[in-house]
A and B are shown apart, each in its own frame.
Chain A
Amino acid sequence: MDWQGQKVAEQWMQIFLLVSAAVAFVTGYVIGSFQLMVLIYAGGVVLTALIIIPNWPWYNRHPLNWLDSSEADKHPKPQPVVNSGNKKKNNKQK
C-alpha cells in the first residue's frame, strides 16, 4: 500500500464506520430493536474490514518513484571531516 493509499484507507475506514453506526442507530431506534442496531453495525464493520484491510490494487496507484541508482553514484554522500573530532577534544581539556 503506498502513501496515498494509506491516507485514503484511513479516511474511508472512519467514514464507513461512522455512517454505518449512524444508519444502525437510527434504524434500531425507529424500529425499536436493539438487536437490529447491533446486527446492522456488525455488518458495517465486516464490510469496512473487507474494504480496508486487504491490500487492494486501488491503494497502489501512486507508487514512489525512486531515483535510479546511477544518480547516487554521481552525487556521493558527503564524508565527515576527519579533524573536527580532535578540535572538540582539545577545547574540552582547556
Chain B
Amino acid sequence: MHSFGYRANALLTLAVTILAIMCAVASFSDTFNSPSPTAEIKVVNIHRFQKLSNGNDEVAMVLNISADLQSLFTWNTKQVFAFVAAEYETHKHVLNQLSLWDTIIQSKEKAKFSVSISNKYRFTDQGSNLRGKEFNLTLHWHVMPKTGKMFADKIVLSGYRLPEQYR
C-alpha cells in the first residue's frame, strides 16, 4: 500500500472480487423462489387446414393464450422467453415440435397476459399426418437471469385434436 498505483490496484482487485461474490449469492438467492405459473390455451378457430402442393399438411389457427408467469420473476430475472409449441406423435417420430408463437417478457407486470393470435409461425407437418391428429399445446419458457445460469420449464396442455377433413 506504499504508492498511489499499488493502492488503486489493490482496491480494484478486491472490489471486483466482492462484486463477483455478490453476483454468485444473488444467483443462489433464486433457488428460494418456487414459481407456480399457470397457463390456459384455447383453439378458437381452425380457419385453414389444407394439403400443400408438396404434400405437406398445413394448419392455420387462432389461439387464445392466457398465462400468468409472474412468479418466475425475481430480482435477478432479466427476461423470460416464452413460446407455445404444438407437439404430436407420428409413426415416424415420437415427438414432433412446432413453434407456433413466442414472446419475450421483460418485466413482471407484462408476465400476466391474455392474447388472441393466429399462429405466428407456420404449422406445417413434414408429410401428411395431421388429419384427425391429437396434439398437445405446450407453453415452454426460458428464464434468463441477470447473473447465473438460464433455466427452462414448461406446461403441457393436452387434449387438442385436428379435424378429420381439410377445409
Contact = CB atoms under 8 A, between A and B. Distances in A.
A41 B22 contact: yes
B22 A24 contact: yes
Contacts of A17: 11, 14-15, 18
Contacts, number: 58
A1 B18 contact: no
Contacts of A53: 4, 7-8, 11
Contacts of B22: 21, 24-25, 37, 41
Interface stretch (A8-16, A66-74, A78-86): A8-16
Contacts of B74: 32
Contacts of A21: 18-19, 21-22
B35 to A, nearest CB: 15
B146 A9 contact: no
Interface residues of A, number: 26
Contacts of B14: 13-14, 17
A73 B146 CA distance: 68
Contacts of A54: 4
Q: How large is the interface on B (under 10, 10 to 19, 20 to 34, 35 or more residues)?
A: 20 to 34
A60 interface: no
A58 interface: no
A1 B19 CA distance: 28
A49 B8 contact: yes
B150 interface: no
A31 to B, nearest CB: 8
Contact of A45 (B2, B10, B15, B76): B15
Find the residue from B2, B18, B29 having the highest chain A CB count within 10 A: B18
Contacts of A34: 26, 75-76, 146
B1 A1 contact: yes
Interface of A: 1, 6-7, 9-10, 13-14, 17-18, 21, 24-25, 28-29, 32-34, 37, 41, 45, 48-49, 52-55
30 contacts: A6-B1, A10-B1, A10-B10, A13-B7, A13-B11, A13-B14, A17-B15, A21-B21, A25-B22, A25-B26, A28-B26, A28-B75, A29-B29, A29-B75, A32-B74, A32-B75, A34-B75, A34-B76, A34-B146, A41-B18, A41-B19, A41-B22, A49-B8, A49-B11, A52-B7, A52-B11, A53-B4, A53-B7, A53-B8, A55-B4
